[in-house]
Structure 1
Amino acid sequence: MNPAESGAHRTAPAGVTTLLVIAKEPLPGRVKTRLTPPFSPVEAARLAEAALADTLRTVRVLPAARRAVVLDGAPGPWLPSGIEVVAQGMGGLDERLAAAFGACSGPTLLIGMDTPQVTAADLAPALSRAAWDGCDAWFGPAEDGGFWALGLAAPDPGLLRGVPMSVPETGAVQRRRLVDAGLTVRDLPRLRDVDTAADAAYVASLAPHGLFAAALARSTRVAAG
């Protein structure tokens, strides 16, 4: 049983780190557009909703001082209890990420909604009581060259503004920005984002009991039929 299933109704433990998930409301035509084709916009939105739900259910049971989804859109039935909703800022992704950090104080870890396979073990190094001892930043590289997680002991929006987003060098530029600022950076595991149908199949195989895998199986059966 994965964390999303086993801990959905458990009292969330306290911690020292604010834990954020940046996300879009899963509406057809607005999310996961690179999945169409082979999936329809409605199917792609259902996959995005399942990915977000899996991510938030994992976040819900992790030790954190505060848990919030930084949302572009309106919350829906995918939102579990214990998760605060914060509206995203305006501008490009770098500006929106910067605004999310700028609204926080103290250690903050932000993750995306595109890695539904993420586990408590993947995030544990950045959420322990000793996570920030001698560490200024946590960085989670993505296989496509981006990043799926970023943590800052002292949130500084200037560390994100101007970083080119959604390009193969995004992760390298962001990590270099941290190092050049004199920060001590530790790395989280490298994960694969869901952008394409091949990504979806691979990620579902890593978390076969999650909502995302179930949604993908339903979509695949419909397409095959």
Structure 2
Amino acid sequence: MAFDPTKQTAASLLGRLKGKLIVSCQADRGDPMDHAETIIRLAAAVLRGGAEGLRAEGAERIRAFRALSPAPILGMAKTWDAQGEVYITPTFALARDVNDAGADMIALDCTRRRLSEAEPWPEMVKRIQIELQRPVLGDIASLEDGIMAEEAGVDAIATTLYGYTAETAGKRSFNWDLLEALVARLRIPVFAEGHIEQPEEVQRALKLGAHAVVVGSAITRPEKITARFVAATRL
């Protein structure tokens, strides 16, 4: 078999992340945390706390995180449509920017809704792996998405977009049934991501077969963390 440097990179990277916690260090537009130096300090703090990797959005912040640490970075770029729906790295030009900034793996929206776009994601998967020599993390929302992503050749998938597509809109808790179905059906690593709130849930995800766990808001969003505690005062 011919040597495939992309797959070699993927195997090495995935080996480092197996059984580990990855922290997504982002802030929504308009959030008080949406400040470059603040996000860099946040990334430094979670790495000191033991996070094995970072998930980062946008070339500027990926570049800053790379200067901060050699820890694996799952990079992406976000765009929004006129209805406010979010898309993860929808074009190859954005994928190249993410790659050039220093991402180790490029996250890509691999849901059914993007199959009819000008740059369908199955074609982008191959271009990223061949032209950029980077592994691809397929962000999905359903078992069907996961199956399609594996068939398209992604190196791993993440349950990131459950709750953010038309079919799953409004879902704001982790879908354990989806994780179990993906682990049982697919041969590629499955990252548990989205709506994980407690350390016990990280442990549960790993026991169910998740390759790694990505946590964001429960660690990095003071506004949302505070709101959870405030809700507990409303007896």
Shared fold by TM > 0.5? no
Report 1 or 2 for greater relative contact order, CA contacts < 8 Å, sequence distance ≥ 6.
Answer: 1
More helix by share: 2
